[in-house]
Amino acid sequence: MGEVDPAFVQEPDHRPKLSHIEAEGIPIIDISPIINKTVKDPSAIEGLVKEIGTACKEWGFFQVINHGVPLKLRQKIEEASRKFFAQSLEDKKKVSRNQTNSSGYYDTEHTKNVRDWKEVFDYLVKEPTFLPATPDEHDHQVNQWTNQTPQYPPNFRVVIEEYIQEVEKLAYKLLELIALSLGLEAKRFEEFFIKDQTSTIRLNHYPSCSYPELALGVGRHKDPGALTILAQDEVGGLEVKRKADQEWIGVKPTPDAYIINVGDIIQVWSNDAYESVEHRVVVNSEKERFSIPFFFFPSHDSEIKPLEELINEKNPPKYRPYKWGKFIVNRKSSNFKKQNVENLQIYHYKLA
C-alpha cells in the first residue's frame, strides 16, 4: 500500500481533517448498578436510565465503564486478532469471506463506494445463523450459515466464543436500559433477539497509511443494526458526527471502556426519538489500529417498524415496515463491490 491507489481516495468533501478535534463530548456512563444484578426497583436506576436517554438523544453514542465484561477476555481476543492479522495475506485468505460465505477474512470492503483502508475478519455470534438466500422479497428461501475458523492462532475459536458470551450479556443489559429510557418495559426488545439473532462480531485491522489525508479506515456510515458495542485500542481514530453542529469529533480511547452506538433499527423503533449517527474511522501514517465491534442484530424475520407504544395521532409512524433479513442481505451484497448507486438505507422506508 505505497503509492496512492485511487480506489481508496475519498471525495474532497469527505476527506478527514488531520488536526482532529478530540472533545470531551461523548458521555462516559458507569453502568455498575445493573451489572450482575436483577433490578427489582426501577426507581433505583432512574438516574442511570436518564443518562442513557440523554446520551442517545444528544449523541447517539456513549461509552460504558464497569460493564461486567472481564478485561482478561478482551485482552485475549485482542491478542488473537493481532496474531491472526500478522500472518501472510496468503494464510489469511485461506479463510476468505466470499459470495457464498458471509463470515471470514476480507480486505476489499467499500463504504459508499470508496474502498476502506482496513482488513476484517467476520464471525457469526450464533451457529448456525439463518438469513434469506436473496434480497428479493418474493424469494422465501432461507440459508444456514456457519463460521470459518482460522488455524492460527490455535485457540482462536475458544477465545472468540468466550468473549461473545460476555459481550452478549452486556448487549441485553443495554437494550433494557434503552427500552426503559424510551418509557417501555425493560424486556420490550428481547423477543427480536432471543430466537435466532443474526449478530456478528468483527475484528478490524487498520494498517498505517501513507496518505491518511486522502483515505479513511471506514468511510462515513451509520450502523444498520440495533446496537454496536465497540472495543477500540489505545490508538484512536473513530470520529462521530456531533449532532449539535455536524462537526467530526474524535472519540478519545478510554481504557477498558466500550463505545456504544444506537443503530438504524433503534432509530426506526423509536420513530426517530433516537437517531443512528454517522461515524467514520481516520487512519494515520505511523500506527496501525485494531478494533472489535459486536453488531447486535435481530432475527432475520423481525419486522422493523416504529413501536406501537411510541406512536399516536400527533406522532404518526415515520417509516413503513421492513424485514431485517432482507435489508441486511441486500446491504451485504452491495458491500461486496463498488457500485454506482448508494446502497440500501432506512430513509428509503421513510414515509413522507
Ligand X SMILES: O=C(O)CCC(=O)C(=O)O
CB of 32 to ligand X, least distance (A): 25
List C-alpha distances in Å: 244 to 57, 199, 227, 281. Answer: 11, 31, 21, 20
Pattern 153-192, binding to ligand X, x per CB under 6 A? Answer: ----------------------------------------
Closest-approach residue to ligand X (CB)? 291
CB of 81 to ligand X, least distance (A): 12
Rounded to whole angstroms, how far apart are CA atoms 193 and 287? Answer: 37
**What residues from 44 to 73 belong to the interface with Fe ion (CB under 5 A)?**
none
Please identify, using beta-carbon distances, which residue of 48 and 227 lies nearer to ligand X: 227
Contact 229, 208 (CB under 8 A): no
Please identify, using beta-carbon distances, which residue of 173 and 205 lies nearer to ligand X: 205
Please identify, using beta-carbon distances, which residue of 160 and 229 lies nearer to Fe ion: 229
**What are the grid coordinates assigned to 332, written together?**
451485504
The region that residue 107 occupies, defined by phi over 0 for left and psi between -120 and 50 for alpha, beta otherwise, is: alpha
Contact 240, 280 (CB under 8 A): no
Sign for the CA dihedral angle at 126, 306, 243, 59 comes to negative
Rounded to whole angstroms, how far apart are CA atoms 70 and 10? Answer: 38
Rounded to whole angstroms, how far apart are CA atoms 27 and 63? Answer: 6
Of 14-22, 230-238, 307-315, 317-325, the window that binds ligand X (rule: CB under 6 A) is 230-238
**What residues from 193 to 232 belong to the interface with Fe ion (CB under 5 A)?**
223
Rounded to whole angstroms, how far apart are CA atoms 161 and 343? Answer: 31
Pattern 196-225, binding to ligand X, x per CB under 6 A? Answer: ------x-x-------------x----x--
CB of 289 to ligand X, least distance (A): 7
Please identify, using beta-carbon distances, which residue of 102 and 232 lies nearer to ligand X: 232
Contacts with ligand X by CB under 6 A lie at 202, 204, 218, 223, 230, 232, 238, 279, 281, 291, 293
Question: What are the residues binding Fe ion (CB under 5 A)?
Answer: 223
